[in-house]
Each structure stands twice: as structure tokens, then as C-alpha cells.
Structure 1
């Protein structure tokens, strides 16, 4: 569909050039030579045909271009939606606002990059080359001037504008980020600022930052105006040059060449704002691509080995460091398929890093990870501003309502669901706003269960629940696993008897991997 948009756009620009050239020929010949009306019939028909076709092809260009761009954006939105639903992606940030930015602003930027940058640049280049070739055929010297003017207006000026926009872009991004942070402090921290008598100081700082942002934006507007003025100057100089060189070709040919040159330079003028916009939009589009690719397979030299048995996890001498601090320090671990494993340890023992490694969110600096699948499904993910049904169907789009109710029953949310005013159609706030901590945890857990992964990774899945409810939820999850390998980080020792195996971690190492021994120690302590 993108190819059809390019073809339609090129056809529309060529019709505009044809309209200008035929109208110029018609007017010049009618005024200079005064021929019979019959001699002008072909030119009159051409003017009418080019005028009608230009509108038709312009409409088709927008139709095909928007269809292609919106279709691609929709596909990317679904892929990113599902990737974010599975869990935090590398580089996506940990806040709800980060996910929202990637879902809305960055995807819209990628759409604009295709519609307002790539498409106009391609169309301008092809149509401009055709116009230069036409002028060259009529008068080579004039054609050379037109080609030179088009290179200046369609390449040199946009390149300069893009370079200036790139320099301003970093300043603009910093200024906007700083202003956003200060406004957020004012809105969310107003009570604290009032309590400490710092509200006036924080307001003044935000106002200064707003003024700084305005100055940077004005500088950007000046750059845009200067670039457009330079393009218009090149257009005028090109027309003057063509008029001077074509003076001896006759009134009709000279008029056609001059007006065609103006139309040709006018066709490449959109390349100037497109170049500036490209600089602004490219980082956002690149972020979306990185996030989507982060959910795909790793390069061959980094790809984890995949044992033949689904759900098998084996780590050999794995080390993961955050700076100089070892998070995992020579971990050896074998988890048989279908086992339920509880991971215990004090804060900083390496439990969360172990889960992130199994989820594919971090890679080992040393050692070997044998994983099948190459990444597990992480329960700690994001809830979107959508209905309960939509949030659950992120894991299984074709799930029926009965299946959704069944998975909610497994995590003891049936009573909550029945109390909702619209049942499964009840909206959920972004990030689970409006839900209690326990409800959010269980709703995410229900979505993870609905996906039915080979390996399910749970990070304190019942932390916000009382002991009895937490045990009941864990029991329901483990009973329904049907051969699934389940690894849960938990601090609830009263529920360890539900698991097949226990892993105790300390200082980034596995100190114990034996359910029976751990239970014996617990019994002796009791």
C-alpha cells in the first residue's frame, strides 16, 4: 500500500507540473501568436485533464498513505501492547507514564515519520527529477539550472535545517523533561511543598523553566522560518536564471520553462519541513522499534540454548553484575519441567535478578543459561486504561467470557468481579488505578495464567494479601499449572508446603535447593 501511495503522489505532482506547463504554453501562445481556437484545443483539453487528475491522484495518495501508515501503526501498537503486557521490557522504564508514552506519543511519531517525512521526500525527489528532465529536453541550459536549484532547495537547505534542528532538539528535550518534572512536583507534591513553605519557590522554578522552554521553541521557529525563506530564495533565483538563459528560445518556450521551474521548485519545498520533522520524530520511532525487537530472539551469539524439554531451566556458573556489585555470583540451578519452585532469601539476595534472568530481561555476564522457552512469562506487568476484559485478553485475544471468569476464579477474584457495576466491561485505571494492591496483583496473575506459558515467573504474587487469602490463591495457581514450570519469589513460609521445591538464596548464590531439607529445618526451628 505504501508503494501505491508513492505512485499516486508522484502522479499528482506530475499532473501539477503538466497543468502548469500546458497552461503556460496555452496562455503564451494565445497572447503571442493569436492562433485559431482549434489550434489550442489540445492544450485546453490537457489543462482540464491535468487539473482533474491532480485532484484525483492527490486524494488517492492521502487515502493509500494514511491506510498504510495507520495499518502499520495498528500492528505495532498490538505488538507493543502484548510485549508490555508480558512484562517490563529493557529500556521501557518502570513507570506507567513510560508505557503510556511508548503506546501513544512514540507510535504517533512513527506514523508521522512515514506520512509527513518519508512519503513527501520520495514524491518530491521523483517529481523533481521528472521536471528537470522535461526542462532539459526543452532547453539543456535551463534544465541544468533547474536541476541545480532543486538540489539546493531539496537537499542542501533541508540538510542545513535538519542539522540546526538536531542541535536544538537536545536542548528542547531537556527543557521539556525538566518542565514536566517541575510541574509534576507542583501537582503531586503540593501538600508537602505547602507544609514546608516551599510552594512559592517551586512555582518560581517552574515558571523559569517554562520561560526557558519558550526561548528554545522560539529559536526553533526562527530556524524553520529561515529555512523556508532560503528555499523561497532558491526558487526565485532559479526562475530568474531560467528566464535569463531561455530568453533566446522564444516567448512560448521561455514562459513554459520559467513557470515549470517555479512549479518544480515548489514541489520540493515540503522537503524542508520534512527534514526538520524527521530529526524530531526519529528518536521516538527508534524507541518503538527497540522495544518491539527486545521482545524477539537475541542475536545468535547471545541466544540462550534451548533444551528439547519444554519448561526446563538450567543455569551453569551464571554471573550477573550491576556495575561492581554482583547480583548473581556463580549460580548453578536445575529445575525439572513441571516443578513448582519457591525462591526465598533476604533483600538483596538476588531473587529478583534470578527472575529477570529467567524472563530474558537480563543476560548473564558469565556462565551458561539453558532455558526452554528462551524467556518465561513475567507476572509483574502493566495494567492498561481499559476494561477488565480487554486487560485479560492481552494474554489470549480470543478468550471467551466464561474462560475469563474461570481464570479469575482461580485467583479468588470472582466475588470482586460480581460486585463490579459492569462486570468484565468495568474500566480499569492505568496501572491498576482504582484497584487495591491485592486486586491488581491477582488480576495480573489471572492474565499470566490465561497465557498458559511453559514457565510462569511470579514475584511476590500474594504480597498484598492476608495469609489465608494468599495461601488460597497460591494453591489455586499451583493446582491449575498442568505441567507448567512455576517459579515464585515469596516470603510466605506458611505456604512453602504447597511447592515441590525450595531454593534459598543469599549474596547472589543458591545456598539450598532441596524442599525436604528446608522443611526439616523449619520444623526444627518451630
Structure 2
């Protein structure tokens, strides 16, 4: 138990150690790069001056050795920096993703009705990547720039005078302030524009035939072209901002050179070249602060989204609004107060459903059926928390469930990884999806766009049945189905001897009117009172 509790701390210390070591290596690599640049310029200038002078002598051994030392330090530092910093970033990404999936698995019981849709999951994974990569994209450039500036300022002050060193330091600070002030939404805006464009293109491809039949193909093309124009505009604006930062760096470099040349005791040519090249190296590194500031802003937004719980939907009541229980004989609930948005607010509902039977919740649109099902699913999960063994206690199929991009087989294996393609094809045949030519290898498209509404409902249902739950809750299982297929699907739900089924329907079809193992729970004034 002690070792298990210490493991997260050990992992955290290891990640921190990797990050610190990577930053040290990054600083060493950039200091070596700047030293190599400055010393090489000084060495070449000194050789030229010595060669031009008559009977002059110049020892190249020490400078040549320094150049080689800086070069080796630069290569080793860059290699180690990449290895260690990327390892530290991967640790951070893994930690962020683990926390994300822990929250999703726990359900954050007080807000469990908030669906973890595919879009939300994709965005959260991207946020985890942004948080992890901030070490490389933000922290490392800032640390390197700070260390390089300090070293360069000391070197310039020692080789010439204090004035050009101060000008160089002030210039780097000004560039840092400019980068910070313009960082707010630059990258976020471009990423949002790119995301909207990607969604627009996918939608346009999927809907092109239908839009063409409606005579709206030109309007759709115009919309897509407008998205491309916005992305180009955002990129051009980012380019202008980068050019302005480069211009500021050039002005600072010029001021540093003027101050260096105007000092009381003008430096010799090799020293002047050394100061010029060293200043240019520092300012080139300082230009990276703009991208670092944008990465920091993106990481802050991503971290806030990952650590801040989204509020529950307005229509989702809290689990305290219902009292439920689950036993070997079935499930039940009581004291459920219809919320204010229902057609009959204030009404108290309750029911007992035996194992292997079905509860049908009926009522018009807006009568509160979906709200009741979400609340019941959340409450039953809390009631059975810690008691699940093998089969899940509760599986709910919402009206707006989600399919991930891929094949039918890959989506169903999320429910049961052991399913083979042949087994999936058999289950598809049971749901009469084979009549539409669907197989385990059929691609579903982004969000299931390649399937019809009726096919989607049966695919959602088949994925839930693959879990073989104790309680199956389905919202509108017959939406988009013709009468023959709807009766077939309801027949499957009626013949689950080990599963208690709760479904929401607008009206009870004829195939359920005479079924003795169906309990009807009406929610509007046109139906009979609840049992």
C-alpha cells in the first residue's frame, strides 16, 4: 500500500528531474552556440588582421581549441536536450491524459450526465498535448533566452564597456514585452480558424450531392472559400507581427553596434566582430519569445479546460432529485420530481421493474423522458458503484450518442475488445443492418456521417448490447426506423432475460400493448396515471 501511494510521487519527481535536466542541457547548447558564433568571428577577424600586418605573430592554438570545444558542446547539448526534454514532455502529456481518462471513468458523479462526446474527447486530448509540449515550446525558449542574455551582457561588458551591454539587455527586455503583449489570442485564433475550416471541408464533402440537388452548391463553395480566406488572413497577420518583431531586433542590434563603436576606447576589429555576432545571436534567440508567449497562452487555456469541470447542462437534474435501487430481482426508483422544464412539472414518479422486463417511459416531446432516463442512469451508477464485477451495472444509449471515425468493428470493439469480425457481422445481421450492406469493416465516416439515422440508432444499440449490461437504458430506440424494423428492434429488447431494460418512446406501439412484461410510465396528461 505504501509503495502504491508513493508511485505517483516518484513519477512526479522523475518528470521534474527530467524537465530540469533538459532545461540545463538546452541552456548549455545555446550558450555553446553563441560562444561558437562569437569566438569564430573573433578568430577569423584576428587571423585576417594578423595576416595583413607585417612581421606579426598570432597563436591560433588556443582560439582553435575553444572553437572545437564550443562545437562539441553544442552538438552534445542539442542531442541531450532533445532526448531529455521530449521525455519530460511525454511524461507531462501522459499525466494529463491519465488525469483526463480518470475523470471520464469516474464520471465526476455530480455531473455524470455531461456526455464525453468524441468532439470533447478530441479537444481534451489536444489540450493535454498543449500542456505537455509547453515545456519545449515555452519554458525552454524563455530559460535559454534569459541565460544567453545574461552571459552575452557580461561578455560584451567585459570586452568593450557597460553601455553596449546595457543597450543589449534593454533591447531583449523590450522584445520580451512586445512578445508578451501580442501573445494573447494569436495562435488560438489561427487554430480556431483552421478547426472551423476543417469541419467546413468535411461537411461540404459529405453534403455535396444533397446541396447540388438543392441548387445550393455555389453557396456551399462560397462558404468554404470564405473559410480559406479567413485562414490566409490570419496567417498574413501572424507574418506581419513576426516581421515587426524582427524589425525591432534589427533596430536594437544597430543601436548596440553604434554604442560599441562610439565608446571612448574603440575596440579592435576582432573584438568588434565578436560583439556584433554575439548580439545578433542573442537577438535571434529573443525572437523566439513571440512563439513561446503564444504557446504559453495556449497552454494556459488548455490547462484551464482540463482542470475546470464544465457545468451540467441546463436540462440535467442532479442525482439528488431521485432515489433508486438495484437488486438481483430488478431495479426501481421513487420520489422523482419532474423538473420545471417538463410538461407536468412538480409531478412525483416512481416504478419497480423486475429483472428481464422492460419499463417504457411514454410521453410527448418535452414531457421529460430524456431527463428522467439521464437522471436514472446517473443515480443507478452511484447506487452500484464499487459492486460491478465483469458485466457493467448500467449502460445508457443517449439520443445523441457518438461514433468515432473508423469502422463499425473498431467502434464496437470499444465495448468488447474480444469481438471478431465474424461475431460483429452476426450481431449486425440480428439488427438487420446487413440488409444495408454493413459489415465490421464498413467505414462510418466522421461522427458516423456515412450512416443513416436509423442505421446509427441500431449501431449505437448493438454496441451497448455488446457490453451485456445488467441495466440497459435507451432513449428513443426506434427513431428513424420503419415500422417493421422498429418492431424487430423492440422485440430484441424484450427478449433479454438477464437485463432490465428502460426505454423512452413517444408512444407505445402495438407490439408492446399486449406484452405482459412491459411497465408503462406516462408523463403527459393524455396518458393514464403512473402505476
Q: Output the TM-score relative to the length of structure 1.
A: 0.68
For residue 341 of structure 1, what is the aligned residue in structure 2? Answer: 359
Partner of 1:226: 244
Of 475, 488, 495, which aligns to 2:503? 488
Q: 1:191 to 1:420 in 2, by over 3 A?
A: closer
Identify the residue that residue 62 of structure 2 maps to in structure 1: 39
User: How far did residue 158 of structure 1 move?
Assistant: 1.1
SS in 2 for 1:12: helix
Residues 434-473 of structure 1: pairs in structure 2 closer than 5 A:
435=451, 437-453=453-469, 455-463=471-479, 464=481, 466=484, 468-473=487-492
Counterparts of residues 310-329 of structure 1 (less than 5 Å): 314=333, 316=335, 318=337, 320-321=339-340, 325-326=341-342, 329=345
Q: Of residues 147, 154, 161 in structure 1, which corresponds to 2:169?
A: 147
CA contact (8 A) 2:367 2:523 kept: yes
Structure 2 CA distance for partners of 1:226 and 1:337, relative to 1, 3 Å: farther
Aligned to 1:392: 412
Counterpart residue number, 1:520 = none
Q: Does residue 266 in structure 1 map to residue 284 in structure 2? A: yes
Q: Distance in 1 between matches of 2:247 and 2:86?
A: 31
Change (3 A) 1:150 1:216: closer
Mapping 1:125-140, distance limit 5 Å = 125-138=142-155, 139=157
Question: In the TM superposition, what whole-angstrom CA distance separates every residue of 1:32-75 from its partner, at most 9, and x where no partner exists?
Answer: 67542443354143133134325524653685478568867987
1:372 to 383, 403, 411: 383
Which aligned pairs between 1:21-420 and structure 2 lie closer than 5 A? 21-24=38-41, 26-27=43-44, 30=47, 34-40=57-63, 42-57=65-80, 59-60=82-83, 64=87, 90=114, 99=118, 107=125, 111=129, 115=133, 119-138=136-155, 139=157, 141=162, 143-153=165-175, 155-163=176-184, 165=186, 187=208, 190-191=211-212, 193-194=214-215, 218-238=236-256, 240-241=258-259, 255-276=273-294, 285=302, 289=306, 314=333, 316=335, 318=337, 320-321=339-340, 325-326=341-342, 329-334=345-350, 340-359=358-377, 371-372=382-383, 377-380=395-398, 381-397=401-417, 399-401=418-420, 405=423, 409=427, 413=430
Is residue 358–residue 371 contact of structure 1 (8 Å, CA) maintained in 2?
no
Structure 1: distance between partners of 2:470 and 2:501: 8
Q: 1:147 to 1:351 in 2, by over 3 A?
A: same
Structure 2 gap ranges (5+): 1-14, 51-56, 313-317, 386-392
Contact 2:89 2:135 in 1 (8 A): no
Structure 1, unaligned runs of 5 or more: 94-98, 297-301, 361-367, 515-526
Structure 2 length as normaliser, TM-score?
0.67
1:343 aligns to what SS in structure 2? strand
The counterpart of 1:428, out of the listed 431, 439, 444, is 444
RMSD: 5.3
The Cα offsets for residues 182-232 of structure 1, whole Å up to 9 and x where unpaired, read as 9689935534543xxx77677678767766775565445433433343344
Q: How many residues align?
A: 474
Q: CA deviation at 1:308?
A: 9.8
Q: Distance in 2 between matches of 1:453 and 1:143?
A: 72
Question: Cα distance, 1:513 vs. partner?
Answer: 3.3
CA distance in 2, matches of 1:436, 1:310: 35
Shifted more, 201-210 versus 427-436: the winner is 201-210
Change (3 A) 1:349 1:21: same
Change (3 A) 1:123 1:204: closer
